[in-house]
């Protein structure tokens, strides 16, 4: 077999062919995995909703609506119903004030605004410190509290919330995300 001459034209043709084959393979893999990934994300969201609101009979994802926060963005609100009666709201809330950036929570509220439960969806806080926000010892202190008369601030800032030891910034961010959810729900009016 004769060796091809190494010219600029031959190199461009070779790289173009390799790029086309690689992009076709990536496109194929993307199409094959898109639906399973979307289904997994939906199941993760529905699982988080089930953790923060009482038992429901509707599909909150189908009835989801957006409410503005006043900060230039909106939060996803998932109404949970038993029959035609609203039993709670799951609010997908977030804040970028965490020690390591964005913290995303699913907060459950009763129709009167009382917190039912909170679950952490995503965070990148310091392992062993800020990550303790997902543990019951921290997040359970918010259960059955109504932010209308329970100040969502850590004790260092004059509030009643016990901050995570050595993770006050993460604790403040958690409180901020829950407060954003409550404010959006109250200003937008529960539907």
Q: Does 171 reside within a domain?
A: yes
Q: Total domain count for the chain?
A: 1
pTM, rounded to two decimals: 0.81
Q: Does 40 reside within a domain?
A: no
Tell me the residue range of the domain where 73 lies: 52-188
- C-beta separation of 77 from 60 below 8 A: no
What are the pLDDT digits (tens) for 54-106? 999 999 999 999 999 878 889 999 999 999 999 999 999 999 999 998 999 99
Q: Does 60 reside within a domain?
A: yes
pLDDT of 190: 52
> Which residues lie closer than 8 Å to 124 by C-beta, 6 or more apart?
98, 100, 101, 102
**Dist CA 171 CA 123 (whole Å):** 12
- Tell me: pLDDT of 35 over 90: yes
Q: Does 23 reside within a domain?
A: no
Q: Does 47 reside within a domain?
A: no
pLDDT of 187: 86
Q: Does 2 reside within a domain?
A: no
Q: Does 24 reside within a domain?
A: no
Q: Does 157 reside within a domain?
A: yes
State mean pLDDT over 166-191.
88
What are the pLDDT digits (tens) for 118-153? 999 999 998 988 889 999 999 999 999 999 999 999
């Amino acid at each position: 077999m004769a060796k091809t001459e190494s010219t600029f034209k031959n190199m461009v043709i070779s790289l173009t062919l390799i790029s086309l084959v690689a992009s076709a393979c990536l496109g194929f893999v993307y199409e094959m995995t898109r639906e399973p990934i979307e289904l997994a994300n939906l199941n993760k969201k529905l699982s988080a909703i089930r953790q923060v609101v009482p038992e429901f009979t509707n599909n909150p994802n189908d009835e989801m609506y957006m409410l503005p926060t006043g900060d230039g963005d909106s939060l996803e609100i998932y109404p949970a119903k038993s029959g035609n009666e609203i039993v709670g709201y799951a609010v997908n809330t977030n804040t970028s004030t965490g020690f390591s950036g964005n913290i995303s929570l699913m907060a459950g509220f009763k129709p009167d605004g009382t917190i039912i439960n909170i679950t952490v969806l995503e965070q990148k806080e310091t392992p062993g410190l800020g990550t303790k926000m997902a543990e019951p010892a921290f997040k359970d202190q918010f259960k059955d509290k109504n932010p209308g008369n329970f100040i969502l601030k850590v004790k260092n800032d004059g509030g009643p919330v016990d901050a995570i030891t050595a993770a006050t910034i993460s604790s403040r961010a958690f409180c901020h995300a829950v407060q954003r959810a409550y404010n959006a729900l109250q200003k937008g009016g529960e539907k």
